Every structure is written in structure tokens, then in C-alpha cells.
Amino acid sequence: MAQVTKKKTSANKSANKKNSVKKTPRKTNRKTAKKKNSLQWHLLKLALYAALIGFLLIAGYVGYCYITMPSIQKAVSRTREPSTVIMAQNGNDIAKFGQVYAKVIAPDNLPKNLTNAIISTEDHRFYKHFGFDIWGFSRAVAANVFHQRYAQGASTITQQVAKNIFLTPNKNVKRKVQELLLALWLEQKLSKNQIMALYLNRVYFGSGLYGAEAAANWYFNKSAYDLNLREAAILAGLLKAPSRYNPIWHRQQALKRAEVVLKGMKNHGFLTEKQYQAALLEPVSDGQKSRVDGAKHFAQYVYDKVNEMLGERGDDIVVSTTLDQRLQETAEKILRQKIAAAKGQNVSEGAVVILDKTGAVKAMVGGVNYSQSQFNRAVQAKRQAGSAFKPFVYLTALQYGFNPSSVVRDAPVRIGKWQPENYSKKYYGDVSLSYALANSLNVATVVLSKELYLKDIAVIAQKMGIHTPLNVTPAMVLGTNNVRVLDMAAAYAVMANGGYEVQPYAINEIATSDGRQIYVRQAQNSLKILEPNVVRDITIMLEAVINQGTGRRAKLPIFAAGKTGTTQNYRDAWFIGWTNKYVAAVWVGNDNEKPMQKVGGGNLPAEIWHDIMQTTINETPSGKSYDNVAVTTDDDDAIGALIENTDDEIGNLIEKNSTDDDAIGALIELNY
């Protein structure tokens, strides 16, 4: 009995042991579960705290954006820069500055075709969203993620209105938040038609045009209300890229873009298939004005002059200029082509100024590519003139009593430590002034200058139009001073017009956009600078430069006179000259003043000058080479000048290295 009890007790102990072993894991699981639940709760609390902090930060930032948002009333009623339209002499448009607006489109009378085209293209859910299009935003995000780039925008028309009425164009998070806030405000305060009217009156359509009415007037010469579906689609298509889809400059691209817009209108229910097909065939009206291709440096030059003349102003103005569109476009094309063809000669830039004999700027090319460089080399650059300065030396000599056949010694000369040399490294002994100038002899010119007062040379150059400071030294006579292309053209125009002062001008008239005249140029009484006999003699000498001297590549089948210019190490090369109608100055070189590869005034600049002036021959009136003398003398004086010293005049034409036949031919060319 005792044994049984003992066994029982043993069994109980064993069972208790087992039970004890089983109970231990239960306690551990409870503790683990408790710890796990506690960790999850802590994580949840952290997440809630983070969410709360994030919400508060976002709310705080939105509040900051709201507080710092520009005044809505001021933004909506902001002022604008008055527009300035620059026109060529023929009335064609060159450029616009400022913002060109037209009359306001009313909310209760929106142009149907244009409104539908813009809604279809820019925001086809415009009448369904509350200022922010959630579906459109989600679609744009998905598209951008799929393409891994910015492929689609999500701004509503309301947001674009909000953006357009801000004073600053900065793109950042703050700006986007403020745009959204303002968009929501606009949707609360205004009707959809009012928002659309704001958009149509403020959106930019390219070419300096703001608002649908201004764009319709300019591109199609009609009101926005009169646009057919195809024209409306062109304007709507402009909004994506105003320059690329400009219907005047890029008509085919604009028409292709219009097809895309029209197809979108069909897909969004604004057009039936029949209306879509008919719209593709509708005529497109021509713009209000034709455009000048290029002339941007000239336009900026004129705009700066207008601002100097008028200062601050509130009126939109139209500026009529002296520019000859055909001559301008020709000069730009030739300069660009010639420099492109000479790339192996390390020449990258150039400038051209063409004046008539009164000083009117008929063409101005400030560089080969305005979009790459707005620096105007025709008026802003100051470069050494080289031998193009020599005519001022010879004019001074002529005023001293020398004449073209006067003899000067071309032989080694030293002034202090300076010993000038001829380009050929040779010396030619006794030569006439005409021969020395025609062949651009440096030494002969320096020797001649020793017979003159250097100050007198500087004075005559300044009287004739050189406005840059002149360092009066012996080397000045070889063109070591910096000059401007426009000034050189003006100085040569004095010789071309008979000796009268020339002040270049580009503006004929300024008027407000409603026709009120502000300025009109009056005829000027020009100061006489050169006597007729001096003009006659220098003309003969500079004609010889082209016919027998360094400027042969500029020779034309009509009268032409001019001078080459090349500076040390070929850093600058010039040709400046005139015909019976125009004076033109050509400069080529590099902005960094690096030497060119043997580009001198007698080659590339002379060729550019020749090709430009060749195009003017058909419009140049027939006349004698010395019509400029007849302008400033009466008949008796002109006859006297013709008869006086006839032997000397013939002698002037018989230069070294020319035959008697050459001299006779040259005499006949003069039409005496």
C-alpha cells in the first residue's frame, strides 16, 4: 500500500513537472505579446506625432505663403511697361519692346472659337474643377513618372491666371503654393467666365503681345471675335511655344500645331468630325504688318535713343526709322555668309554701317548673330582704325596746300625709338600723295605728317565725326587710336556729300499708338567742314585706292571711292567707302582681339563691301563721279574746278605702275 502511494506520488510529481514545463512558455508568450503591442503602440504614436508635426509644418508653411503673398488687388491692377514698336522706313515692323495690349475682352462676351480652342488645349475640365484639377494632376504625375522626365503639366487655367497676375516670375515651392492659394481665391470670388476673361486679356502670345485681342490684331489683322476655327487653333497652339509656333516666322509649324489643337477640340466634344474636317481647310489671314528679318542690333540702338530722348513715359509709342529693309537684310546675309566662309582665317565677328549722304542710317549690322551676342559692334565696340585713318592725314595736307600730285619721300624714318615700316617691308622713294594713299604706304604717311601739325589731324578727324578720344602721337597717323564703326562711316560721309558735317540719325518720327505725334525730325543746317577743292582731290585719291591700289577687290562698275585698313597682327580689318548714293563701313575681327590669319582690309572687308554695294547699283541714279562737288558749288565754280590745273589732274591719275592707257581710261571714267 505504501508502495502504491509512493508510486502515485512519484507519478504526481512527474505530472506536476510536466505541467510546470508547459506553463512556463505561456508566461513568456504573454510577455512577448505585451512587449510587441507596446512597441506597435509607440510606433503608432511616433507616426501620429510625425504626421501632426508634418501637418503643422505644412500648415505653417502654407500660412507663411498666405501671409507673404503679394496684395491681390495690387497684383490684379499692376502697371506695365509701355510698348515701343520700331518700324523700318517702309512701315514694316522690326521689333517690339514692352508689353503690347489691346482692348479688353468682357466676361459676358467671350470669343467662342478661341475660348473653346484654349479650353480644349490648356484645361478641358475648366468648367468642372474648383481651381485645382485633381484628376489632371494625377494624370500628369503618372505621365512624368512613366517617362522619367517632365512630360506633362497640370496647371489649370485658373492657376495660370494666378501666375500671370504675380509681380515676380520666380519658380519655387513658395510661388507654387501661393499660386494654388490664389487660384482657390479666384474660384471663390469670380465666375468661370470672369476667370477666362482675365486669362484671355493677360496671357502672352509671343512677339511682345499680351492678350487675345492684341494677338488677333497683329497676327491676323482682325478681332479675336472674328477668328475662324483654324485661326483660333493657331493662337491656342501658340501658348505652348510662342516663338516656335509664330504664324508669321514659322507658318508651317504653326499650321501643324493648329491641326493638333483642332483634333483635341474634336476629341473633347467641341467639334464634330464634319466641323473638324472643314476647319482644316479654312483660310488663314495675313498679319497686320510685314516683318523685317533681323535688324535686332539696330532696333536696340533705336530703343536706347528713344529712351534718351523721352525718358519715362506712359504712352505706347510707334517709332518710324530710316532703315532700308532690303539693304539691311542684304548686309546681314552677306556679312554672315562671308565670315562663315572665312572660318579657317580665324575671324568670328563683323559689323556694317550704311548711311546715305545726309547721315540717315540705312542699315546697321552689329554682329553675325544677335541671339548669341547682343553686343553691338557697330556702335559699342572701339577698335583701332589702321590705315582707314590715313585719309584724315591727307585731308589735312590738302588743306595745308598740298595736292594729289605733291611728292613725299618714302624712305626709312625714325621718330625717337619708333621706326615705322611699310607692309611690304620695301621703300619706294619719291611718290605722289595719291600713290602713297592708294597703296597705303606707312612710311610716306609718317613723313608727310612731319610736315603737318598732329593736333590739326586730330581736330579734322573729330570735326568729321570721330567722337572717341584721340591720343595725339606720331603713331596716330597710322590708325593706332580706337574708333567706332558708326563714327568712321559718318566721317567718310563728309567726304561723300561735298564736305558738310554728318550727324548719323535713325529716327524720323515718334508717335503714340493712337497717332499723336511726339517727335518729328527737322532738316538740319549742316556745318561746312571741307572746301570743294579738298573734297575733289581726296575723292580722286580714294577712287584710286579702289581702281589701282589696295582696295581693288571693292571695285564696282560704277564710281566708288574708299580706303582699306589693317591693324598690327591682323587684329582689325576695315573697308570704308562710298558710291553716288551710299556710304558703308565694314569691320571684321574677333571680340577677344586675337589675330586673324592674314585678313586685311583689302580682302575680306573689301569683298563684303563690294558685294553689299553691288546690290545697290540698279537703284543708284546715273551721274558723275563728282556730283558731290556740284552740290556745294555753283556752275561757274564747278567749271573752274574742272578747268583749273588740268595737267595736274591728269598727272594725279598717272600713278606708278600704271600705263598711259590706264590713266586715259580712268579719266574717261570720271565723266569729265
- Residue in 408, 442, 436, 440 with CA at minimum distance from that of residue 422: 442
For 283-301, what is the mean pLDDT?
Answer: 85
What pLDDT score was predicted for residue 47?
A: 75
What pLDDT score was predicted for residue 178?
A: 66
| Low-confidence winner among 14-28, 40-54, 323-337, 576-590 (lowest mean pLDDT) | 14-28
Distance CA 293, CA 610 (A): 22
More confident residue, 218 or 510: 510
Instruction: Enumerate long-range contacts of 594-598, CB under 8 Å, 24 or more apart.
Output: 594/346, 595/346, 595/569, 595/570, 595/571, 596/345, 596/346, 596/347, 596/570, 596/571, 597/344, 597/345, 597/346, 597/347, 597/570, 598/345, 598/570
CB of 472 within 8 A of CB of 455? yes
For 562-585, what is the mean pLDDT?
Answer: 97
List pLDDT tens digits, range 407-426.
999 999 999 999 999 999 99
What pLDDT score was predicted for residue 289?
A: 59
What pLDDT score was predicted for residue 30?
A: 64
Confidence band, pLDDT 50/70/90 cuts, at residue 159 = confident
Confidence band, pLDDT 50/70/90 cuts, at residue 66 = low
Beta-strand pair 582-589/572-578: antiparallel
Handedness of CA 564, 566, 570, 573 (dihedral sign): negative
CB of 304 within 8 A of CB of 376? no
Confidence band, pLDDT 50/70/90 cuts, at residue 649 = very low
Distance CA 126, CA 128 (A): 6
pLDDT of 192 higher than 70: yes
Distance CA 394, CA 273 (A): 79
CB of 71 within 8 A of CB of 272? no
What pLDDT score was predicted for residue 363?
A: 98
More confident residue, 472 or 628: 472
Beta-strand pair 317-321/84-87: parallel
What pLDDT score was predicted for residue 57?
A: 66
For 631-641, what is the mean pLDDT?
Answer: 33
What pLDDT score was predicted for residue 248?
A: 83
Tell me the domains of the chain and their CATH numbers.
Answer: 110-279 (1.10.3810.10), 331-669 (3.40.710.10)
Handedness of CA 396, 402, 408, 413 (dihedral sign): negative
What pLDDT score was predicted for residue 614?
A: 97
Q: What is the mean pLDDT of the chain?
A: 82
| Low-confidence winner among 65-69, 190-194, 482-486, 563-567 (lowest mean pLDDT) | 65-69
Q: How many CB atoms sit inside 10 A of residue 598's CB?
A: 12
What pLDDT score was predicted for residue 52?
A: 72
Query: What residues contact 608, with CB distance under 8 A and at least 6 apart?
Result: 334, 335, 338, 350, 352, 575, 586, 588
The rounded percent of the chain whose pLDDT value lies above 90 is: 56
Distance CA 200, CA 111 (A): 9
For 290-300, what is the mean pLDDT?
Answer: 87
More confident residue, 549 or 44: 549
